[in-house]
Chain A
Amino acid sequence: MTVRHHVSDELLLAYAAGTLEEGWRLAVATHLALCPDCRKRLSLMEDAGGQLLEEIAPEPALATSFERLRQRVLHEGAAARPSPAGTRSAAPARAASPVLPEPLRSYVGGDVETLKWKSLGRGAYHIPIKTDDGTTMVRLLRIPAGKPVPEHGHGGRELTLVLSGSFHDGEELFARGDLEEADANVQHQPVATPGEDCICLAVTDAPLKFRSWLVRLVQPVLGI
């Protein structure tokens, strides 16, 4: 599997800098789990962040700072605070590779076969995913095979990460791991590829002021 549609520099930089809000971050992190190339680009950016840290104008620590630090690591440091790395996976180990990578799988509480899809009508399903940033709308979407979506514009940024199946948008094919990044200027006409439903993670700006193709798809149902 080779990912062909990658996260943009500006979005990846926001991830590297830690400024990306949770909903966008979930999509980028899940793309990174599937895309070694973008992880390499992320490393470069983090190296740049480290280099900038070397060059920042230092802010003197308090005179007592190191002594306090020394006391703290001696008394609380040794045993405390084990690294949380690798302790979060939501699925038990098993032979088949999950369709949903971390961190997404933990957000939805399991892999695809355990999901409780909610019908949107017209053969489409979704699962809203809760985030706390208050500025994004995140959902897992299942688009029926071969189903076209009407052409339209956007009201804001939209990220679509394909997890299984694929869709075409014009000439471009988006398959597992591919990330489509669209903004208000983009007109597009995605069509799920025949033969298999397309499951994707969709992140948009918070709703109401906004009409993405995903929202358009659910508008008749949700009445927004």
Chain B
Amino acid sequence: MVIRHTVAAVTTCMTIAVPIPAPACPDIPIPKPRRDCAAGLRVNMKRARMSETARELTKDEARALLEAVGRDRDMAAFEALFRHYGPRIKAYMARLARDGSIAEELMQETMIAVWNKAAQFEPGRGNVSTWIFTIARNLRIDAYRKTRRPDFDPNDPAFVPDDTPPADAVVEERQEAERLRSAMAVLPQEQLELLRLSFFNDCSHSSIAETLNLPLGTVKSRIRLAFAKLRAALEDGQ
């Protein structure tokens, strides 16, 4: 099986020589991040054993809970979100943090941002897991890199707006999320693995290529194939 084979091949997992960034959150002492390009493989095997675990929260439930937090400052709804997302965010943070207490801290920071920004969540513009992922990702970047994090600004007069405003939104969003989930479920394992390594482990594609003992061109073409399939799956549904 592909995964087992690659795990065996991974012996040279890299610690990439990067300058150690100063922590962006002054109250969290953050050591040099762990850039372990193989960690995803091991955790993924763990995940495979847990794959029968029931989903605890549907996307609609998550959306309703987040809206309740934004609108009513509903602590019970916040707790339900925390029970579902807290451990997932912590696992995401733990991919770079050697120390569990740092992952815990960054998870707390993420959940506080979820609380503070909940009212800004626009249900038609993305689903809850995406929204939380981007918050966690930005916090992780800011914690581990001392650089600025340049981003586009939709309020900038030079910003070129979308050609077509999103059609109705919540229904559309729900259907797209479902199509994406289905499409990801049938992605070839090797492509899904690359996406996990890319999203979770802060490894460049060239270090992933080296770790998996693949030519860089193969890594790139798998990424393109994966997104071509996901895009096609979304277009099919329209």
Interface, chain A (partner B; CB < 8 A) = 1, 8-10, 13-14, 16-19, 21-22, 25-26, 29-30, 32-36, 39-41, 43-62, 65-66, 68-70, 72-73, 76-77, 80-83, 85-86, 88-89, 91, 93-94, 97-105, 107, 131-134, 177
Q: Is B224 an interface residue (CB 8 A)?
A: yes
Q: Are B160 and A35 in contact, with the CB atoms below 8 A? A: yes
Q: Main secondary structure on chain A at its contact with chain B?
A: helix
Number of interface residues of B (CB under 8 A): 87
B129's partner among A34, A50, A59, A80 (CB-CB below 8 A) is A50
A53's partner among B132, B203, B220 (CB-CB below 8 A) is B132
Known: A47-B177, A57-B43. A9 touches B223 (CB 8 A): yes
Cα of A122 to Cα of B112 in the assembled complex, Å: 55
Q: Are A36 and B203 in contact, with the CB atoms below 8 A? A: no
Q: Are A73 and B78 in contact, with the CB atoms below 8 A? A: yes
Cα of A19 to Cα of B180 in the assembled complex, Å: 23
Q: How far is the CB of B146 from chain A (nearest CB, A)?
A: 6
Known: A18-B138, A59-B90. A9 touches B159 (CB 8 A): no
Which residues of A have CB within 8 Å of B85? 53
Task: Please encode chain B, from 97 to 133, with 1 for each CB lying within 8 Å of some chain A CB and 0 for all others.
Answer: 0001001100110011101110010000011111111
B150's partner among A22, A53, A56, A81 (CB-CB below 8 A) is A22
A51's partner among B111, B115, B137, B181 (CB-CB below 8 A) is B181
Q: Is B71 an interface residue (CB 8 A)?
A: no
A44's partner among B134, B223, B234 (CB-CB below 8 A) is B234
Q: Are A86 and B184 in contact, with the CB atoms below 8 A? A: no
Interface, chain B (partner A; CB < 8 A) = 19, 43, 46-47, 50, 55, 75, 78-79, 82-83, 85-92, 94, 100, 103-104, 107-108, 111-113, 115-117, 120, 126-134, 136-138, 140-141, 145-163, 176-177, 180-181, 184, 195-196, 198-200, 202-205, 219-220, 223-224, 227, 230-231, 234
Which residues of B have CB within 8 Å of A58? 87-88, 90-91
Q: Are A46 and B75 in contact, with the CB atoms below 8 A? A: no
Counting chain B CB atoms within 10 Å of each CB, the highest count among A8, A65, A107 belongs to A65
Q: Are A44 and B180 in contact, with the CB atoms below 8 A? A: yes
Which residues of A have CB within 8 Å of B205? 10, 14
Q: How far is the CB of A43 from chain B (nearest CB, A)?
A: 7
Known: A1-B160, A57-B47. A103 touches B234 (CB 8 A): no
Which residues of A have CB within 8 Å of B161? 36
Q: Are B160 and A50 in contact, with the CB atoms below 8 A? A: no
